[in-house]
Amino acid sequence: MTNHLPIYIEGEKWIPLTYFSEQEKKSFKEWLPSYRLKRVELPGVVLNECLDFKTYACWLRLKELTYTKSPIFDF
């Protein structure tokens, strides 16, 4: 899983879904309600599906937990 760097727009951190692989996009869209994806406009550029960096960081931590074998999941 790739850790993406955010882009800064007006002091806020954003991650465009274009950064993700198709598999990651699908996984993310299944996890997150569609209203959380935002349209971000820059001079001359419109990014239709972006998410705030805090949401992305949370999603990334959850994915890392599910991919690693941890004693916390042993019952």
The 10s digit of each residue's pLDDT in 4-59 is 888 888 789 999 988 888 988 888 788 888 888 899 888 888 988 898 999 888 88
Q: What is the pLDDT of residue 13?
A: 93
Q: What is the pLDDT of residue 19?
A: 87
Residue 55's CB is within 10 A of a number of other CB atoms, namely: 15
Q: Please give the average per-residue pLDDT across 49-73, as a whole number.
A: 76
The ranges assigned to domains in the chain are 7-70
Q: What is the pLDDT of residue 58?
A: 86
Sheet architecture: strand order including 45-52: 7-9, 12-16, 45-52, 38-42
Q: Please give the average per-residue pLDDT across 53-71, as a whole number.
A: 75
Q: What is the pLDDT of residue 14?
A: 92
